């Protein structure tokens, strides 16, 4: 799964630590998601989307597996 967390953070002026605090995870978790090394739970994905005030589908996209 790909995501646009890094871009959305930049738009909002948030650091990884800021976002982590808002969604109750560690900075390392945010870093891992941005590096596509960690797929968040549905609840976490929804929390992140809420912070950015966007639908979850605009933040997270499935990669094609043809």
Domain range list for the chain: 2-53
What gap in Å lies between CA 12 and CA 36, rounded to an integer? 20
What gap in Å lies between CA 39 and CA 36, rounded to an integer? 7
Does the pLDDT at position 16 exceed 80? yes
Amino acid 63: pLDDT? 81
Does the pLDDT at position 22 exceed 70? yes
| Tens-digit pLDDT profile for residues 24-63 | 999 999 999 999 999 999 999 999 999 999 999 999 998 8
What 8-state DSSP symbol labels residue 39?
P
Specify whether domain 2-53 bears CATH 1.10.260.40. Answer: yes
Amino acid 66: pLDDT? 65
Cβ atoms within 10 Å of 6's Cβ, excluding its own: 15
E strand or H helix that includes residue 21: helix 16-23
């Amino acid at each position: 799964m790909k995501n646009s967390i890094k871009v959305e953070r930049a738009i909002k002026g948030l650091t990884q630590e800021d976002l982590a605090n808002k969604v109750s995870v560690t900075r390392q978790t945010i870093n891992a998601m941005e590096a596509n090394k960690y797929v968040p739970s549905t609840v976490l994905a929804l929390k992140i989307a809420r912070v950015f005030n966007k639908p979850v589908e605009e933040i997270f996209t499935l990669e094609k597996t043809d």
